[in-house]
Amino acid sequence: MRNFVVWRPLTVLLALAAVHGAAMAAECKPDALGTSRVIVVDPSEHGRIGTMQYPETLPLRDHEVVLTFDDGPLPPNTPKVLDILASECVKATFFLVGSMANASPALVRRTFADGHTIATHTQTHSPRIWKWPAANQEADINQGIASVTQALGDSGTLSPFFRFPGLGKSKEVEAYLASQGIMVWSADFPADDWTHISSKQVAARALDRLERKGKGVLLLHDIHKVTVVALPEILKELKRRHYSVVQVVAAGPGQPKTATDPQQWVLQTPAKPPAAPRQGGVPLPRERRPL
């Protein structure tokens, strides 16, 4: 079953996003963090990224970060996340669950209207979906794509980006997604915001792990209150530590990929990373599989 999503010409979409982004920038505070640049990627050349699972990641420069949010949209937390990002003129990638998009289509449209990249995260986000037969996984993935596309309607378009729930995966489904021209995203580090920790711990883990890698793709969840509380601190610290936020979009007709060298897709950790952060004398736990 082939993907039936109709991709609009990205030149038109990015032009609209640029106009909307300029209007938003005018409303931002003078010292807003902002979005430093946009990377255009070709899923057919780099179909799987994120060093939590794959050898490649996005071709970021030192001190660049891509913000990603999973599992939404869900009021009231997703609107609060969008408000926080808008206040800093920051753009992110949202991996939406189809059933959540069905329940809150206006929120899907707002996310796109705010200039963010819209991607998918299955229809049901069922526990251990990666254990299902491949055909069942593919059907759930396709339904998720259809639901988010329907929620967007004529107001926006879907990017050919996908993240497995819980970062579960299989070679068979990965091959299927590649055949559909869909890029699979893992992450380079999470903030553990789906676990039972405080907002201060969420921010600390996000920033500590970013510091250790020097750049990368951060995994967050816009459905959780703890993330809403932690996000302003994360953005404040990114600015204070001189990090830049990068947005990612897919290449298409009239929108060529960003020129890169192969080595830029391999994450090189800093030569002298800071000592592992500790809390209460105990090292932080290992990065866990997200929900």
Would you list the DSSP string of 21-87?
HHHHHHHS-TT-----EEEEE-TTT--EE-TTTSS----PPTTEEEEEEES---TTHHHHHHHHHHH
| Three-class SS state of 212 | helix
Confidence (pLDDT) at 267: 86
Cα-based angle 230, 187, 43 (whole degrees, multiple of 5): 130
Q: From first to last of its 291 residues, what are the pLDDT tens digits of the chain?
A: 334 343 443 333 444 343 344 334 446 778 999 999 999 999 999 999 999 999 999 999 999 999 999 999 999 999 999 999 999 999 999 999 999 999 999 999 999 999 999 999 999 999 889 899 999 999 999 999 999 999 999 878 999 999 999 999 899 999 999 999 999 999 999 999 999 999 999 999 999 999 999 999 999 999 999 999 999 999 999 999 999 999 999 998 888 999 999 999 998 766 555 554 443 333 434 455 566
Confidence (pLDDT) at 11: 38
Dihedral sign (CA 232, 238, 244, 248): negative
With b for 16 or more beta-carbon neighbours within 10 A and e for fewer, the 191-215 pattern comes to: bbbbbebebebbbbbbbbbbbbbbb
HSE-CB at 4 with a 13 A cutoff on CA atoms is 10
**Residues known to be catalytic:** 70, 221
What token pair was written down for 22? 């300029």
Give the span between the Cα atoms of 11 and 15, in whole angstroms.
6
Give the span between the Cα atoms of 212 and 91, in whole angstroms.
23
| Residue/partner pairs of 236-241 with CB below 8 Å, 24 or more apart | 237/203, 237/207, 238/33, 238/65, 238/207, 239/31, 239/33, 239/88, 241/63, 241/207, 241/211
Instruction: Tell me how crowded residue 270 is: count the other CB atoms within 10 A of its CB.
Output: 12
Confidence (pLDDT) at 269: 66
| Three-class SS state of 183 | strand
Question: pTM for the complete prediction?
Answer: 0.86
Cα radius of gyration (the chain): 18
Confidence (pLDDT) at 30: 85
Confidence (pLDDT) at 254: 84
β-bridge partners, 96: 120
Burial degree of 99 (CB within 10 A; 0-12, 13-18, 19+): middle
Amino acid at 62: D
Contact in structure between 18 and 157 (CB atoms under 8 Å): no
Instruction: Tell me how crowded residue 277 is: count the other CB atoms within 10 A of its CB.
Output: 14
